[in-house]
Structure 1
Amino acid sequence: MVTIDPEILSFLILPALIFFARIADVTCGTLRIIFISRGMKLLSAVLGFFEISIWLLAISEVFSQGLSPAAFLAYALGFAAGNYVGITIEEKMALGISVVRVITQYNAEELIFQLKESGFRTTSVDAMGQFGPVSIIYSVVKRKDISEALRQVHKYNPNAFYTIEDIRHAGGAMFSADGRIPKRGLARYTRKAK
C-alpha cells in the first residue's frame, strides 16, 4: 500500500486539488452569470448545480485542513484563475448577438453596401457630430461575426469610430434564424426601396 507523507499531502496535493476545484467552480459561475444575462435558463441551472457542488467540495477541503495558509492561498488563486478561464471560454464560444454602431465623417455608402453584401442587416442615419455631419450605421450581428463586420469597417472607413454592445434578443421581418439577411432577401428589400 502506498502512503503519502502528511506534509506533502497538506502543503502540495490538497492545495493543488483545491486550486483546480476552485478554477472549475468559478469558471462554471462566470459562465452561468453570462448565460443568465443572455436568457439561457436551462444551461444556467445546469452550470449552477455543478458550480455549487464543486464549491462545496473545495470549501470542505479548506476547512478540513485546519485553515492552513496553503489551502487558503490555493482557494484564492483558484478563484482568480477561474474568473479568467470562464471569461476566456465565453469569448471563444461567442454566443449571442451584438449591435455594432459605426460613426463616420466620411461617405459611408460603400461601407453600407459591403456590409449588406456580406449579409449583415444595416440601418443608417445622417446626424450631426461635434465636427460636422456624420453617418451612423447600426448593424445587428452574431458575436462570432463581429470580426468580419469590423474587417469591413476597417477596410472601407478605417478612421470610423465604432462601439459594440451585447443585446439579449433581436427579431423582425428581415431577420433570418442566424441574424443575417439571406442574399436573396437582400435583393428583395433593395428592389422595394427603389
Structure 2
Amino acid sequence: MVILETFYDSTFFTYLLLPFLIFVSRIMDVTIGTIRIVMVSKGQKLWAPILGFFEILIWLLAISKIFENLDNWVNYIAYAAGFATGNYIGLIIEERLAMGIVKIQIITRKSAEELIVNLKNAGYGITHHEARGSSETVSIIYSIIKRTEINKVQNIVKSTNPKAFYSIEDVKQVSHGIFPVRTVTRRMRKSK
C-alpha cells in the first residue's frame, strides 16, 4: 500500500503517466462523441445512446482526475491535446465508416446523355431534366447513392464530363431506390 502511495506521488506518475492517461481518455471520449453525432444524424436509435453512455463515462473519469490535480498544468495540456486529437481521429473513422446514403446532384452544360448512360450502366438509378442556367440550358442529374460509392460516381462524372458541377448532400432516409447490385466476385471476396 505504501508502494502505491509513493508511486502516485512520484514525478513520473504526476507529470507523465497521469497526463498520458488523460490524453488517451480524451481521445477515446471525443472520438466516440464524433461517431455518436453521426449515429444521431443517421437516426441510429440504438447505437447513439450506447456510445453516449461510454463517451460520458470516460469523460467523467478524465475530468475527475483533472479536478483532483488542479495544480498540475501538464494535465490541462494533455486534456486539450486529447480533445483535438480525438476530433481528428473521430473524423477519420467516420470517413472510413462511410455510413448511410447521399444525394448527388450533377449539373452539366455539355449533353448529359453519355453521363446518364454511364451511370445507368454502373447500376445507379438517376433522375434528370433540362433546366435554364444563368446563360444557357443545362442538364441536371440526381442520384441517391451509398456513401461508399461516392468515389466511383465521382470517377464516372470526371471521366465522362470533367467540367460538370456536382454537389453531394447527406440523406437521412429514402423510401425506394435503385442501388448497384454487388457482383458475385465482390461478394465472394468479402466472405473470404
TM-score, normalisation: structure 2: 0.88
The residue aligned with 1:18 is 22
| Cα distance, 1:181 vs structure 2 | 5.3
* In structure 2, distance between residues paired with 1:138 and 1:116: 12
Shift of 1:182: 5.0
Q: Which residue of 1 aligns with 2:179?
A: 180
**Which residue pairs with 2:11 in the alignment?**
7
- Aligned partner of 2:112 in structure 1 is 108
Residues 1:135 and 2:139 aligned together: yes
Q: Aligned letter for 1:11?
A: Y
Aligned-partner SS, 1:27? helix
1:90 paired to 2:94: yes
Out of 46, 63, 68, the position equivalent to 1:64 is 68
Q: What is the aligned-residue RMSD (CA, Å)?
A: 1.6
* Amino acid of the structure 2 residue aligned with 1:14: L
Check 1:9–1:102 CA distance in 2 against 1; reply closer, same or farther (3 A cut).
same
1:68: Cα distance to partner?
1.5
Are 1:47 and 2:47 counterparts?
Answer: no
Query: For 2:79 and 2:147, how far apart are their aligned partners in 1?
Result: 33
List alignment gaps of at least 5 residues for structure 1.
184-194
State the shift of 1:66 in Å.
Answer: 2.7
Residue in structure 2 matched with residue 149 of structure 1 by the alignment: 153
The answer on 1:125 being equivalent to 2:124 is no
Aligned-partner Cα distance in 1 for 2:74–2:38 = 31
1:86-145 Cα offsets, whole Å, 9 max, x none, are 111010000000001000000110100110111111000100111311000001000000
Question: 2 CA distance for matches of 1:49 and 1:159?
Answer: 47
Q: TM-score, normalised by structure 1?
A: 0.87
Equivalent residues, number: 178
Q: Deviations over 1:8-56 (max 9, x none)?
A: 2111110000000000001111111111011001010110111011001
Unaligned runs of 5+ in 2: 183-192
